[in-house]
Amino acid sequence: MTEEIIIAGFGGQGVLSMGKILCYSGVMEGQEVSWMPAYGPEMRGGTANVTVILSDNKISSPILDTFDTAIILNQQSMDKFESAVKPGGLLIYDGNGITRHPEREDINIYRIDAAEEATKMGSTKTFNMIVLGGYLKVKKLYKLESVIKGLKKSLPERYHHMIPVNEKAIHRGLEIIKEVATVN
């Protein structure tokens, strides 16, 4: 199995850490992983994105132009990455602030209103974990316990008291993700 993912949104949405948790989940199940962020001053308050590859085999290029999955968290990223999903691939997006919804007909599209849900849950910081939960629901990549282990690994010790809240958020994500359109 090889899964090539782009996660893209605003800086501060937890895009990079979500990628890292996915990677650590993969490591927990013995996989090869790579995490390649876009970096530089243009990231300041602007967009942030990370390419994550999870694979049973050695990973060749960590830099990609097309993806099995795109997780899209703002309009700019929608404009940039909708077209980069491979035919038959998966696009997950948060509807918050989206003015142009995805239009492709050859990919599977899911929507998860995680920003709204995070506000409801009273912790906007869990936003990315809700999205992660949604993604795991659709892709069923890892056992939940590996993901929690991965979460533990990627959080510094002083934030470990946050793990139960994050776990709850992942579960919420599993519940609220909605299918928009699928091909097969």
Query: Footprint of another protein on this chain (CB under 8 A)?
Result: 20, 23-24, 27, 32-37, 39-41, 44-45, 59-63, 65, 153-154
Nearer Cβ to another protein (153/168): 153
Query: Least distance in Å: CB of 8 to another protein?
Result: 16
Nearer Cβ to another protein (8/121): 8
Beta strands 178-181 and 108-111, pairing class: antiparallel
Please state, in angstroms and as integers, the Cα–Cα distance from residue 51 to each residue in 12, 83, 165, following that order: 17, 15, 26
Handedness of CA 127, 129, 130, 135 (dihedral sign): positive
Query: Least distance in Å: CB of 52 to another protein?
Result: 9
Nearer Cβ to another protein (58/100): 58
Report the C-alpha gap between 24 and 30 in whole angstroms: 10
Segments of 38-101 assigned E as strands: 47-55, 67-72, 85-93
Report the C-alpha gap between 25 and 8 in whole angstroms: 19
CB atoms within 10 A of CB 167: 17
Nearer Cβ to another protein (149/171): 149
- Amino acid at residue number 75: Q
Query: Least distance in Å: CB of 117 to another protein?
Result: 27
Query: Least distance in Å: CB of 61 to another protein?
Result: 4
Query: Least distance in Å: CB of 107 to another protein?
Result: 19
Nearer Cβ to another protein (51/166): 51
